[in-house]
Structure 1
Amino acid sequence: MNTATRFPADGDALVDLIVLGSGAAGFAAAATAARKGLKVVLVEKAAQFGGTSAISGGAVWLHGTDQARAAGIEDSPEAMRRYLQKTIGPGYNAALVDAYIRHGHEALRWLEAHTELKYALRPLSPDYYPDEEGGTDRGRALEMLEYDGRRLGAHFKDLKMPPAGMLLFGGMMVNRVDIQHFLSFRRSPRSLLHCLKLMGRYAIDRLSHPRGTRLTTGNALIARLATSAFADGVQVWLNSRTESLIVEHGSVVGAVISRDGRQQRVLSRGGVVCATGGFAAGPDAAAQRPHSDAAHLTMSPETNVGDGLRLGQAAGAVAGEKLAANFFWAPVSEVLHKNGVRERFPHLVTDRAKPGVIAVNRAGERFVNESNSYHHFVQTMFATGNTPCWLICDADALNKYGLGLARPKPVDNRALIDAGYLYRADTAEQLATLIGVDPQGLRRTLERYNRDARDGLDREFGKGGNSYNRYMGDPDHQPNPCNAPLLKAPWYAVRLHTGDLGSARGLATDGQARVLDASGAPIPGLYAAGNDMNSLMDGTYPGPGITIGPGLTFGWLAACHAAERLATLPSPVLEQ
């Protein structure tokens, strides 16, 4: 790089760090850099900030956090390495895994000390493959503490709102604990009181806000980081597209950004962090899936079209190859509302593992352990050719747990039936005919499953067979939280398509989040984090929070490295 950064005095801007993307990784980098005294601009293509992180569960999966240590949980780095070696397989990258294990808890500690970020240990949260060597039932998964969105002030309106199907009463956020209280309020005075308090707060909020200001999960995560970033002077440019990176003598020194109807050169002494959210909504995504479900549904925002890959590769970066999967899979359903709006729902935690719910193919046969992780569920859909499939339940299960966008009793779900999303029939055979499934096949499936489920078993696919399965079920249902016979009419079904929560394939990096070129050398001034960074999980899904955890960690590492690098560079010289 030149001994001094030069820029024309004709309106070009100069900052210390440019961050592209406003998800967890982007805001972690921006908030860290700003707190270290850097002048930061965060560029967001969408009209609101938060990206996929804002609609995520917000959990992190980390080794050796202060929260786990305070709970007396012992978890060695070797155990976590063994677990990741087993679950990731041939794509295991020792350098990235070691950096994640070594720096993940350090990053969280720093962010909690210097920003509004606050996490709590989940009392019980098994890894997704808890019986693998090195797997655990608790200690690695942390969940976001709720946050008062009013702390964002005027910026609250710019925070990405979760889809309506993930909210209650049109705008009230709930977390894992809240959901369990809502499922139990009819039989638990404690749960009833909890729900009444939430609804009271929400009613007050709606007097002055378009939605509830009690934020949970990923919305709280982004709001916490954003509040700190704004307080430390981070500029967030919304509706702004990064056209290209500025490269001088092999170093990335800025970006050309389209904003307010014009292009602007922004030079950055510390470089550029790519955290644009990956390419899952882009035109090239279909070609990178195993084979096509014509209605594959991504939960990524429509702006996540691969800008980070495009920009990085144009600057000489290489992308990951031959991942176990190029996406983080999840089954997704979709409804077309009367107003023409399409709403998607990711089937992550609320229905598949619950007793009285099964998944069947066109032959009316089960093909998967419904209580396994969402990633594994879609892997099995692809592997068996069951794309799409159907999630089926009886009246008891729908009334207790809901099904996709359909809510439990006493909610009236007739609008979803009228929209062709929720299918209802008086008998299982009629339901099969209605949805195009073999009635005799479904009858035989129910006979087999119900016979086992009466005893809490699933001899065919092992639903409820490990601690993660049972954690996802109904803890109040015995003898197995995941299994109950389907007996009570009417019968219900929702069509499930293959879907994803985002892309896993990204720019190759080292353990400091520096982007690598074809020779394996870091490109000075170029960093990647979040879904723009090639997944250290190699497109596998070992546990809850394996995207947000690395996003925060490597976003923080990128900002720390940029700040250290910036301290060694001479001051800029204004070209006359």
Structure 2
Amino acid sequence: MTQVSRRNVLAGAGLALAAGLTPARIASADVGAYDVVVVGAGAAGMTAALTAAKRGLKVVVIEKASVFGGSLARSGAAVWIPNNQVLLAAGVPDTPQKAAQYLAAVVGNGSSPERQQAFLVNGPKMISFVTANSPLRFRFMPGYSDYYPELPGGMPNGRSIEPDVFDGTALGAELANLNPPYLPVPAGMVVFGADYKWLNLAAVNVKGAAVAAECLARGTAAALAGQKPLTMGQSLAGALRVGLAQAGVPVLLNTPLQDLLVENGRVAGVLTPQGPIRATRGVIVGSGGFEHNAAMRAQYQRAPIGTEWTVGTRTNTGDGIQAGQRAGAALALMDDAWWGPAIPLPDGPYFCLAERTLPGGLIINQAGQRFVNEAAPYSDVVHVMYDKNPTAPCIPSWMVVDQSYRNKYLFRDTLPALPLPDAWFASGAAVKAATVEGLAIAIGVPPSTLRATVNRFNGFAFTGRDLDFHRGDSAYDHYYTDPAVFPSSSLAALWLPPFYAFRIVPGDLGTKGGIVTDARARALRSDGTVIPGLYAAGNASAAVMGHSYAGAGSTIGPAMTFGHIAANDI
């Protein structure tokens, strides 16, 4: 056994002891032979490993990074699984028929009806399974609308759930190996994903102020109890990791996949720097996408593209996808990603959610004109950026707001009315000017055009109807908005100087193309035949959502579900 392998096994032993497991059970964890090898310790991989272990199989998880959790741990960890026990307990009037109707309307032929049905049938079972076999618990996110609630079966009050608070002390020393969050929760607070809608409004909304106080009270209570409260992706990844420890599953960090071991046409294990690891029953690839592989992005995706705008975890370089391709797997959806408008800040891209949908802001192209409904689902906004870029350059675009907007709303982690960091302006990610015309000159767009664009937008704000791009027509458009603004919570005029512009580029949460799989998560060749012993789930596989995005958590929900399906099939 290599030194790295010994370290990983010892770390697993320490966590197992903390979870009440015996040293003898952990001592068997070694590079060697297992029933199932899982590649990647993210949402898909850890769910798959937990399922296989609880079904009585000997399982190992290999993880390329020095930390576990992948992009899951960095995320807000919303989970989109229709008709699950958490929703039904919360009184959400979902049904299998509504869910199937909606998913078919959203995805169309972007994935097979069989895979869509497999997701809808097995998703609720997966939620029940992980809550029964780990400390993981969930809560409903009321009001977080499906992304297309007006489609048949869509739900304006939403279907998204998120992890409940999890005490990180349960991880013991392994807490140090949890991948850090994309944005840390403010010190001393316990914040859920559903809270951010209101925290953005804390300076201007009574409920927003109450939610902020509640977040602080939760943090104080946890501190007094000696807890290390984790929420969102930290909670989900941490709780799954404890579930693996309790099930005796070793997670070998610093153990990248070099290739798949193929014997007589069957995938029989994996090759790692520590040596081969055999899988007598199957290999499940849950290694994430290829967002940090510049060559793959240039090969498969539209220009301009690169690796500097993604917020996916840095070790996601497509290793599992490429290994699957070498083993004969077909690939699909490689041109797409879980897109979203991002601001390229000096310390990394900032994925815009509330900032672009709060009233009092608009997005313009390089001609100074609006070109999209700014409050549309974030993936759609970037699709439009790419579609229109060849004829009316939209990459980069600019988000324009005024001082009234800045006085009211949180912007990333800058409180209302406080100055934005100087580094943002120095880098060109943000620009400020005393007039609309001055701002136009500073960002290189025609002043008269930008003035006309702002005037027309202000007129829509006065009437409450966006006649150009229908912002506010969908229930989804009103989630990250200000209910105190009338006649539409999604629209407000820009009038108070100074004015600000923020550079907008096509960011993403990760890529969504990868190995083609069937309804049982088995990898397929281009002729539709199955590659024996090879399974894929999460962003290493072609997304069941196709080119669309049903609701918040459409990455994590299917990733966990198809990891669960793969392990059950094995």
Smaller-chain TM-score bracket: 0.7 to 0.9
1:344 aligns with 2:349: yes
| Pairs within 5 Å for 1:389-428 | 389-404=397-412, 406-410=414-418, 413-428=421-436
Q: Kindly indicate whether the alpha-carbon contact (under 8 Å) linking 1:256 and 1:265 is maintained by their aligned counterparts in 2.
A: yes
* 2:538 is the counterpart of 1:530: yes
Contact 1:504–1:531 (CA under 8 A) maintained in structure 2: yes
TM-score, with length taken from structure 1: 0.87
Code of the residue aligned with 2:236 in structure 1: it is L
* Deviation of 1:193 (Å): 5.8
| SS state at 1:19 partner | strand
Q: Write the distance in 2 (CA, Å) between the matches of 1:131 and 1:202.
A: 38
Asked whether the equivalents of residues 528 and 558 of structure 1 are also in contact (C-alpha less than 8 Å), the reply is yes
Q: Which residue in the other structure is 1:150 paired with?
A: 169
| 1:342-365 alpha-carbon deviations (Å, 9 max, x no partner) | 311111x22111100110112211
Q: Which residue is 1:361 aligned to?
A: 365
Distance in 2 between residues matched to 1:498 and 1:310, nearest whole Å: 24
In 2 relative to 1, CA 475–187 (structure 1 residues): closer, same or farther, beyond 3 Å? Answer: closer
Q: Does 1:42 align with 2:51?
A: no
Secondary structure, aligned partner of 1:223: helix
With over 3 angstroms needed to count, the CA separation of the structure-2 counterparts of 1:556 and 1:485, relative to structure 1, is same
Distance verdict in 2 for CA 1:507–1:180, change over 3 Å? closer
1:298 maps to 310
> Pick from 194, 214, 234: which aligns with 1:219?
234
Distance in 2 between residues matched to 1:71 and 1:168, nearest whole Å: 26
Coordinate RMSD, CA, aligned = 2.7
SS at match of 1:472: coil
1:218-267 superposed Cα distances (whole Å, 9 cap, x missing partner): 22111111121122222111122111211222222211111xxxx31111
Q: Following TM superposition, by how much is the alpha carbon of 1:197 offset from its aligned partner in structure 2, in angstroms?
A: 5.8
Q: In 2, Cα distance between the equivalents of 1:505 and 1:184?
A: 36
Q: How many residues align?
A: 536
Give distance in 2, aligned partners of 1:152 and 1:369.
Answer: 43
For residues 17-416 of structure 1, what are the structure 2 equivalents within 5 Å? 17-138=36-157, 140-163=159-182, 166-169=183-186, 174-186=191-203, 192=209, 194-196=211-213, 198-199=215-216, 213-258=228-273, 263-282=274-293, 283-293=295-305, 297-320=309-332, 323=333, 325-336=335-346, 342-347=347-352, 349-385=353-389, 386-404=394-412, 406-410=414-418, 413-416=421-424
2: CA distance between counterparts of 1:415 and 1:203?
A: 33
Contact 2:190/2:215 (8 A) holds in 1:
no
Report the CA distance shift for 1:442/1:12 in structure 2 as closer, same or farther (over 3 A). Answer: closer
Is the Cα–Cα contact under 8 Å of residues 341 and 381 in structure 2 kept in the other structure?
A: yes
- Three-state SS of the structure 2 residue aligned to 1:63 is coil
CA distance in 2, matches of 1:446, 1:319: 44
TM-score normalised per structure 2 = 0.87
Task: Indicate the SS of the match to 1:125.
Answer: coil
Query: Structure 1 residue 519: deviation in Å?
Result: 3.6
- Higher mean C-alpha displacement, 269-278 vs 175-184: 175-184
Runs of at least 5 residues in structure 1 that lack an aligned partner in the other structure: 1-10, 337-341, 563-576
Q: Would the alpha carbon gap of residues 328 and 19 (structure 1) be closer, same or farther in structure 2, given more than 3 Å must change?
A: same
Residue type of the alignment partner of 2:363: A
User: 2:7 corresponds to which residue?
Assistant: none
Q: Report the alpha carbon displacement of residue 73 of structure 1 after superposing the two structures with TM.
A: 3.5
The answer to whether residue 514 in structure 2 is matched with residue 506 in structure 1 is yes
Letter in 2 for 1:344: P
Letter in 2 for 1:167: P
Which residue number in structure 1 is paired with residue 553 of structure 2?
A: 545
Q: Give me the whole-angstrom Cα distance separating, in 2, the residues matched to 1:438 and 1:171.
A: 46
Equivalent in the alignment of 2:4: none
Contact kept, 8 Å, 2:119 with 2:558, in 1: the verdict is yes
Q: What is the CA-CA distance between 1:105 and the residue it aligns to? A: 0.6
C-alpha distance in 1, partners of 2:206/2:100?
44
Superimposed CA distance per residue, residues 358-380 of structure 1 (whole angstroms, 9 cap, x where no aligned partner): 10112211111000011000011
Structure 1 stretch displaced more, 57-66 or 372-381: 57-66
**Match status 1:15 vs 2:25:** no
SS in 2 for 1:253: strand
Quote the residue 1:5 is aligned against: none
**Letter matched to residue 312 of structure 2:** S
Distance 1:205 1:47, change over 3 A: farther
Q: Write out the 4+ residue segments of structure 1 that deviate beyond 6 Å after TM superposition.
A: 170-173, 203-207
Q: 1:25 to 1:151 in 2, by over 3 A?
A: same
Which digits, 9 at most, give the CA deviation of each residue in 1:532-568, with x for residues without a partner? 1211111321221111111111111112222xxxxxx
2:468 aligns with: 460
- How far did 1:275 drift? 0.5
**Letter of the 1:70 counterpart:** A
CA contact (8 A) 1:406 1:422 kept: no
Q: What is the rounded CA distance, in whole Å, between the counterparts of 2:190 and 2:446 in structure 1?
A: 39
* SS of structure 2 residue aligned to 1:381: helix
Measure how far apart 1:317 and its partner are.
1.8
| Contact 2:78-2:193 within 8 A present in 1 as well | no
Letter in 1 for 2:248: G
Which residue of the other structure, out of 455, 467, 474, is the alignment partner of 2:482?
Answer: 474
Tell me the secondary structure at the aligned position of residue 557 of structure 2: helix
SS at match of 2:355: coil
Distance, in Å, in 1 between the alignment partners of 2:200 and 2:558 is 32
Unaligned ranges ≥5, structure 2 = 1-29
Between stretches 493-502 and 29-38, larger displacement belongs to 29-38
Residues 552 and 462 of structure 1, relative CA distance in 2, 3 Å threshold? same
In 2 relative to 1, CA 436–204 (structure 1 residues): closer, same or farther, beyond 3 Å? farther
Tell me by how many angstroms 1:411 deviates. 6.3
Retained in 1: the 8 A contact 2:268–2:283? yes
Distance across 1 between alignment mates of 2:492 and 2:452: 16
Mark the CA change 1:242 to 1:176 in structure 2 (over 3 Å): closer, same or farther: closer
Q: Give 1:399's aligned amino acid.
A: N
Q: How far, CA to CA, are the matches of 1:410 and 1:168 in structure 2?
A: 19
Q: What corresponds to 2:456 in structure 1?
A: 448
CA distance in 2, matches of 1:354, 1:467: 14
Is the contact made by 2:201 and 2:409 (CA closer than 8 Å) also made in structure 1? no
Counterpart CA distance in 1 for 2:221 and 2:157 is 36
Distance change in 2, residues 1:269/1:83 (3 Å): same
Superposition deviation, residue 161 in structure 1? 0.9
Deviation readout 1:107-137 (Å, 9 max, x if unpaired): 1111111112222222222221122222222
Cα drift, residue 511 of structure 1: 1.3
Aligned AA (2:276):
R
Would you say the 8 A contact 1:407–1:413 is kept in 2?
no
Distance 1:74 1:29, change over 3 A: same
The residue number in structure 1 matching 2:12 is none
Displacement of 1:402: 3.7
Q: Deviations over 1:253-290 (max 9, x none)?
A: 211111xxxx3111122221100101121121122223
What amino acid maps onto 1:477 in structure 2?
V
